[in-house]
Structure 1
Amino acid sequence: MKVLKFGGSSVANSEKIKQVLSIIAKTSEEQKVAVIVSAFGKTTDKLLAGANEALEDITAAKEILELIKELHFRVIDDLIIKNKKEVTEEITYLFDRLISIYEGIFLLQELSNKTLAKVSSFGERLSSYIIAKAAKETLDATHKESRDLIITNDEYLNAQVNFEVTNKNIAIFFHDNQHKITVLGGFISSNTAEETTTLGRGGSDFSAAIYAAALNADELQIWTDVSGMFTANPRIVKQAYPIAEISYEEAMELSHFGAKVLYPPTIQPALRKEIPIRIKNTFDPENFGTLISNDPENGNEVKGISHIEDISLITLEGGGMIGIPGFSKRLFEALSVAKINVVFITQASSEHSICVGVYDADAEKAKTILDETFSIEIYRKKIKPIIVENDLAIIAVVGESMKNYQGLSGQMFSALGRNNVNVRAIAQGSSEKNISAVINKYDAKKALNTLHEQFFEERTKQLNLFVTGVGNVGERFLAQLHQQKKFLIENLKLNIRVIGISNSRKMVFDDAGINLENWKDLLENGEPTSLDNFYIKVKEANHRNSVFVDNTANQAVSEVYEKYLKDSISVVTCNKIACASSFYNYKKLKEVSKKYNASFLFETNVGAGLPIIDTLKNLVNSGDRIHKIQAVLSGSLNFVFNNFDQSSTFHNVVAQAQKEGYTEPDPKIDLSGVDVARKILILARESSFKMELEDIKKNAFLPEEALNTTNNDDFYAALTKHENHFQDIFKQANDKDCRLKYVAEFVDGKANVGLQHIPADHPFYNLEGSDNIVLFFTDRYPENPLIIKGAGAGADVTASGIFADIIRIANK
């Protein structure tokens, strides 16, 4: 025999009940079945709402009841033909009883637990009767009242089952019952005085388990609207998937910590009899679902991750507790007497403190009771007043095989730490089947996704990007991301999503990832932006593995890096301003990055996509010392002087360089030498030298008039006016058979930048186009320097450098 339980979502309307009937029919072909059903949809909630409304307004209560009645009669019209008159009369009688109860509530102005139990029982009484009659239309089915079989004590709303009497009743009834299908209402029961009682939250599941255990069923099937127990809540973790097999203990742990597919007490009767429980999807009946048994097939060492929200942490602490017995007893006894459920316990080994987790709704009551219980110790300052922290959540990693694997706790807390999820308390049972942590409720979604990725998606890592600046570099960066998405997933097991995009006017966000095929249209129709608003949106999104990407050359943007890093949001930037600001700010950003475990990468600050900074870091980290750096670090200036001669004008060559994306939006930054000075400053600092921008000697070649302009139009006009000046510069180099290169040098702690005449035998002489070149002279490379050479400017190569930094973070 099998016991099938169908929840409210499975019997919400006629169409869904038809699917339930087809499942029952198929199952009953081979054996007898007991079918336990919940109330239709949210009927029980509506019945209780009507009862509470009846205290104040009987008319409003009857209106609620009328809506419930309409649903039930609609189901009767759709599903019942042969016995419609009989069914209609019975259901009408039940609703008349409900109206009488509501009127009694209104007249007496009293709503006791006894009455609440009676009112709430009608949902299952109605649904089980209608479904039984619908099944009888085509199948060998009958209906039986659960109140006749399940006997409890007198706690009307959360009754305790008398299993001795109940099991005997069930055994006798089913022994005499010859029908293949028996439909019973879940949740409801009665006491020895034949008064209606209910089994509390999750009572329909519990009813099903009671029947399964009493009947020694071959299997208990819980039919719901999902395909089993998932590795995590699929509404929060989109990558979660059903667990094929799981043990009773694992299922209990997961259900205790919020897996709503199953209610924890459900497992107990079935566990005692070792009856397999299968979670199935009513709307995908062919899906295997989840099998809960005593001996599941081994799978992942971690079976699932679950969580409970709306938790408060209550802490009892003080030096007066040390070595004094009885504190724990008094604490738990006081909470027990007050009927406050404790969902989490941890105690310091020093006996200095005990922490317990309770639901937020019980927190204030718990504090009042415990402050009173320990009032003498608090008055004598032996312990502190009770400490309460609200708005927390408990996250639990569950798996029976976890005890056989080393380092799982380390993986869990390292993953949370990398994503700035602060752990307030930890508990781990001696059986090592569950590691629980109390965290801020705000971080629950991020924590679940982080841990799911750690334990179930180790082959695919997700990065969530927030991109500001979509000019030349930003646009190419997004295009490269879009182009490489499939490659990254298939070859690097890396899923990079762009969650937010911003320019100087608008911003757009999508938690599921922005479609990079039409991001321009989405951004154009986005909301107004500011640096603060964009940061707030990023913080509110609270995604794991978050990265802020700055594709601008804007100083104001560079000034917000610290805020992102302090929230453990990595920063990738081609903007040189931050790293070339004061040495104090540069060091602080580095320190904050390290402290909050957030990467701060700026490879593209020097050499665009060339691995200059990365190579320098490797030299320094491996113990080499930098003596001298010589470099052509401006792709734009190299492009300009490689294309400028007597047949061209300096103005036109600079304009061409800007048009092709080799210069900054303000080309004077490049031509004044400020950009190159920033780059050599960054290399000096990365070589472990303390230096400020003003320490760098700049040998300017621009006329004063051009240097003093405040906009591009005036700058270009000054270039035209002083064309002879630039032609003279070219002639002087040409007469010496030299080429003009803007060179940056760092030697023994001093740096300078300026235009130089480069002879034919110099490594810089044949540097073409917009290429950069860097020569590192070190302890290991004293005479023949380490040379890095290649394209050092342009939107595509800069974007690829940003891309490379993103991948470095992914590989961290």
Structure 2
Amino acid sequence: MRVFKFGGASVKDADGVKNVVKVLKEVGHENTLLVISAMGKTTNAMEEIVDAYFDDKTEIVHKIDAVVEYHNGILKELFPNHQHQVYKDVKTLIEEVKGFLAWNKSPKYNFVYDQVVGYGELLSTAIVSAYFEEIGIRNQLLDVRSFIKTDSSYRDTTVIWEKTQEHISKIDRSILNITQGFLGSDENNFTTTLGREGSDYSAAILAYCLNADSVTIWKDVPGVLNADPRYFKETQLLNNISYREAIELAFYGASVIHPKTLQPLQRKEIALHVKSFLNPMESGTTVGKGVGIEPEVPCFIVKKNQVLMKLSSLDFSFIVEDSISELFKLFHEHKMKVDLIQNSAISFSVCVDNKFGGLQALLDQLKSKFKVVHQEGVSLYTIRHFNSKALESLQNGHEILLEQRGKETVQLVVK
């Protein structure tokens, strides 16, 4: 049993969908389940619909029309017969979005977000499944929300493994299955999401519950690189990575593998392959049981738009366990991901990711008990397996605001 995950870049247009077919013909699709993301930048477009719902309802129709136009463009290339059932299926999904926005009474952004944004995946898989049938690849389209069961922490939900295992075990493996990434549902059958880029995690959940032999993430890069080519000029392919090393890289923010993806795979020693959908026969990167990375080279990770805060006690008293415990409770309440901490007797520095927009509310609470200096828009660089040359490459030309160094890892907060 294999689980393949295709991201948005792989199905961003009609040629992309046709290329997925080409990949499957080269590597085979027996005993395979496909997890497919929303097409191209559809998730961003769906987020704009949600924002319009809360900020300017007059924009909703325009935003939805943009999504419809984009998908209709792909449909017209894949299905010249405009009477094909898939046109009706796509229209039905769009009407469901409009219907929800019309009757919804909840003022909670995260709830509305999950009910709307997930339609990107539902549209994508409806189109891909119909195209496969059109060209003779028999398949079964599954609604992943019926299989991955979660709590109700919308936008960042937790999987209920026992129920999820029970549902996934019922999947018919005798046919090619196609389903969505990113999505689940709670006990009331409302849609939940696993966090942005959560489709990799979806693939891992399905693989774990199906006792799959492997998961392959198909990307537009040759595999896991030692640095993001968008920010670093010279990059190297990592041929093999241990689970532990991959978890370290994911923890520090390496974007090629979702942080939650690796734990369920490691528990059952399911191999993870990261390969190029442009060159499917190349070996790519394998993540599995083993030691370290091969080749052993410095790995660079950058997280942009972070917030650096320096907190000190108003009365110059020590910042000790009680204070630190209170701080982390506040970070949790305001959904601030802590990426680096450094403390002395009377000060506490922390670099956080303000991805849920809770910074101002957090600062208001902190300033009642601490002296707070904060700086937005900083970057956090992490180098795993650093050497002097790698370190110098980052120190030159940057203003270093904070540095933290361990045996294998150095982190720099820079302006």
TM over 0.5: yes
- Asked whether the 8 Å contact 1:321–1:353 carries over to 2, the reply is no
- Asked whether the 8 Å contact 2:306–2:352 carries over to 1, the reply is yes
- Asked whether the 8 Å contact 1:10–1:225 carries over to 2, the reply is yes
Which position in structure 2 is the counterpart of 1:423?
400
State the distance in 2 between where 1:420 and 1:185 align: 43
State the distance in 2 between where 1:255 and 1:414 align: 23
- Asked whether the 8 Å contact 1:80–1:133 carries over to 2, the reply is no
- TM superposition shift of 1:245: 1.6
Q: Secondary structure at the match of 2:237?
A: coil
Which position in structure 2 is the counterpart of 1:43?
42
Which position in structure 1 is the counterpart of 2:121?
124
State the distance in 2 between where 1:248 and 1:83 align: 47
Letter of the 1:157 partner, please give it. R
Letter of the 1:343 partner, please give it. D
CA 1:215 to 1:342, structure 2 compared with 1: closer, same or farther past 3 Å?
A: same
Letter of the 1:47 partner, please give it. M
State the distance in 2 between where 1:125 and 1:398 align: 38
Between the two structures, name the one with larger relative contact order (CA 8 Å, sep ≥ 6).
Answer: 2
Deviation per CA, 1:424-472: give whole Å up to 9, x if none: 323345xx442212222xxxxxxxxxxxxxxxxxxxxxxxxxxxxxxxx
- Larger fraction in helix: 1
* Residues 1:134 and 2:131 aligned together: yes
- Asked whether the 8 Å contact 2:222–2:275 carries over to 1, the reply is yes
Q: Secondary structure at the match of 1:329?
A: helix
CA 1:341 to 1:301, structure 2 compared with 1: closer, same or farther past 3 Å?
A: same
- TM superposition shift of 1:27: 3.1
Which position in structure 1 is the counterpart of 2:3?
3
State the distance in 1 between where 2:95 and 2:321 align: 59
Normalised TM-score (structure 2): 0.89
Which position in structure 1 is the counterpart of 2:92?
93
Q: Secondary structure at the match of 1:240?
A: coil
Which position in structure 2 is the counterpart of 1:152?
150
Letter of the 2:410 partner, please give it. I
CA 1:323 to 1:297, structure 2 compared with 1: closer, same or farther past 3 Å?
A: closer
- TM superposition shift of 1:243: 1.7
Which position in structure 2 is the counterpart of 1:73?
72
- TM superposition shift of 1:206: 1.2
Letter of the 2:383 partner, please give it. V
State the distance in 1 between where 2:393 and 2:272 align: 33
- Asked whether the 8 Å contact 1:229–1:259 carries over to 2, the reply is no
Q: Give the structure with higher Rg (CA).
A: 1
State the distance in 2 between where 1:416 and 1:97 align: 49
Q: Secondary structure at the match of 2:178?
A: strand
- Structure 2 counterparts to residues 357-372 of structure 1, below 5 A: 357-359=351-353, 362-372=358-368
Q: Secondary structure at the match of 1:326?
A: helix
Which position in structure 2 is the counterpart of 1:200?
195
Letter of the 1:247 partner, please give it. S
CA 1:24 to 1:80, structure 2 compared with 1: closer, same or farther past 3 Å?
A: farther
* Residues 1:241 and 2:236 aligned together: yes
State the distance in 2 between where 1:126 and 1:68 align: 10
CA 1:344 to 1:238, structure 2 compared with 1: closer, same or farther past 3 Å?
A: same
State the distance in 1 between where 2:212 and 2:93 align: 32
> 1:392 pairs with 361, 366, 378, which one?
378
CA 1:32 to 1:359, structure 2 compared with 1: closer, same or farther past 3 Å?
A: same
- Asked whether the 8 Å contact 1:311–1:357 carries over to 2, the reply is yes
- Structure 2 counterparts to residues 413-562 of structure 1, below 5 A: 413=391, 416-417=394-395, 419=396, 421-428=398-405, 432-440=407-415
Letter of the 1:326 partner, please give it. D
- Asked whether the 8 Å contact 2:334–2:359 carries over to 1, the reply is no
- Asked whether the 8 Å contact 1:243–1:303 carries over to 2, the reply is no
- TM superposition shift of 1:364: 3.9
> 1:356 pairs with 347, 350, 353, which one?
350
Q: Secondary structure at the match of 2:278?
A: coil
Deviation per CA, 1:215-267: give whole Å up to 9, x if none: 12211111122222222121222221322222223323333434322221122
* Residues 1:292 and 2:282 aligned together: no
CA 1:363 to 1:98, structure 2 compared with 1: closer, same or farther past 3 Å?
A: closer
- TM superposition shift of 1:59: 5.7
Letter of the 1:116 partner, please give it. Y
Letter of the 1:387 partner, please give it. V
State the distance in 2 between where 1:298 and 1:392 align: 29
> 1:171 pairs with 153, 169, 189, which one?
169
* Residues 1:345 and 2:341 aligned together: yes
Counting matched residue pairs gives 411
- Asked whether the 8 Å contact 1:9–1:41 carries over to 2, the reply is yes
State the distance in 1 between where 2:223 and 2:365 align: 41
- Asked whether the 8 Å contact 1:35–1:182 carries over to 2, the reply is yes
CA 1:416 to 1:12, structure 2 compared with 1: closer, same or farther past 3 Å?
A: closer
Deviation per CA, 1:252-300: give whole Å up to 9, x if none: 3333434322221122221222212111122232332222222167534
Which position in structure 2 is the counterpart of 1:32?
31
- Asked whether the 8 Å contact 1:4–1:208 carries over to 2, the reply is yes
- Asked whether the 8 Å contact 1:370–1:386 carries over to 2, the reply is yes
Letter of the 1:73 partner, please give it. N
- Structure 2 counterparts to residues 259-408 of structure 1, below 5 A: 259-295=254-290, 299-317=294-312, 320-322=316-318, 325-348=321-344, 351-359=345-353, 362-374=358-370, 385-399=371-385, 408=387
Letter of the 1:71 partner, please give it. Y
- TM superposition shift of 1:148: 0.6
Letter of the 1:328 partner, please give it. I
CA 1:253 to 1:109, structure 2 compared with 1: closer, same or farther past 3 Å?
A: closer
Letter of the 1:132 partner, please give it. S
Normalised TM-score (structure 1): 0.47
Letter of the 2:348 partner, please give it. I
Letter of the 1:224 partner, please give it. K
State the distance in 1 between where 2:21 and 2:243 align: 29
Deviation per CA, 1:771-802: give whole Å up to 9, x if none: xxxxxxxxxxxxxxxxxxxxxxxxxxxxxxxx
Which position in structure 2 is the counterpart of 1:453?
none
- TM superposition shift of 1:182: 0.5
Which position in structure 2 is the counterpart of 1:16?
16
Question: Unmatched 5+ residue regions in structure 1?
Answer: 375-384, 403-407, 441-812
- TM superposition shift of 1:4: 0.6
Deviation per CA, 1:3-57: give whole Å up to 9, x if none: 111111111111011001221233335x311100011111122123123324566
- Structure 2 counterparts to residues 623-634 of structure 1, below 5 A: none
- Asked whether the 8 Å contact 2:250–2:257 carries over to 1, the reply is yes
- TM superposition shift of 1:112: 4.2
- TM superposition shift of 1:140: 2.9
Letter of the 2:220 partner, please give it. D
Question: Unmatched 5+ residue regions in structure 2?
Answer: none
* Residues 1:253 and 2:223 aligned together: no
- Asked whether the 8 Å contact 2:76–2:82 carries over to 1, the reply is no
CA 1:298 to 1:120, structure 2 compared with 1: closer, same or farther past 3 Å?
A: closer
Identity of aligned residues (%): 27
- Asked whether the 8 Å contact 1:346–1:426 carries over to 2, the reply is no
Letter of the 2:10 partner, please give it. S
CA 1:77 to 1:346, structure 2 compared with 1: closer, same or farther past 3 Å?
A: same
CA 1:58 to 1:413, structure 2 compared with 1: closer, same or farther past 3 Å?
A: closer
